[in-house]
Copies of this chain bind each other. A is one copy, B any other.
Amino acid sequence: MQNKEFKLIGQRLFNEGLVAGNFGNMSVRIRGGFLITSNGSFLDEEESLRFVSMDGVPETGASSEWRVHYLSYLSGDAEAIVHAHPPFSIAASLLYNEIIPEDSEGKMFCPLIPVVSGEPGTVELAENISKFLISNKVVIAKGHGTFAKGKDLKEAYLLTSIVEHCCRILYYLGGFGGRSL
């Protein structure tokens, strides 16, 4: 049941180019912890999901970014989290500290998208992201990718899709390089 939803959302993430290779990860809160995709897996294939308890103990093989998910569930209201590597969002995050969309959907759903610093895999990045995810639905880790929360994987995926749409539109409006937001 859980596996099926993970696979369906994973396929959508791939089809829209929001992830590639075996990057990205997803999780859903369950009783006493959360289920997360396994390390190095393809998000569009049937998953062997791993359990992480709210004591912070990950099952062997859990995504190496489990700590970002853990701290976000600990401090915030997320019921699901999607981490993806959308290319326009990543490029924008290397140039700006926050993204202000100009398209209608962006203005409505994420009028200000924070960009968060920290090296992938570090406690620093996990703490920064979880802190921002308390009051934001989606953030971009600078040069790395998006983290979106939702009441389920679908909502977290949709926010990821919207953020990439916003950044793509901003790029087409003149190129990130020659443009200050």
Query: Residues on A close to B: CB < 8 A?
Result: 14-17, 20-23, 85, 87-88, 90-91, 94-95, 102-105, 107-108, 119-120, 141, 143-145, 154, 157-158, 161-162, 164-165, 168-169, 171-179
Contact = CB atoms under 8 A, between A and B. Distances in A.
A15 B108 CA distance: 25
Contacts of A91: 169, 172-173
Contacts of A17: 16
Contact of A157 (B21, B23, B120, B162): B21
Given A22-B158, A87-B165, A173 B95 contact: yes
Given A91-B172, A108-B120, 15 more contacts: A16-B17, A16-B21, A20-B165, A21-B157, A21-B161, A85-B105, A87-B168, A88-B172, A102-B143, A105-B144, A173-B177, A174-B175, A174-B176, A174-B178, A175-B177
Query: How many copies of this chain?
Result: 4
Contacts of A94: 102-103, 169, 173
B169 A21 contact: no
A173 B173 contact: no
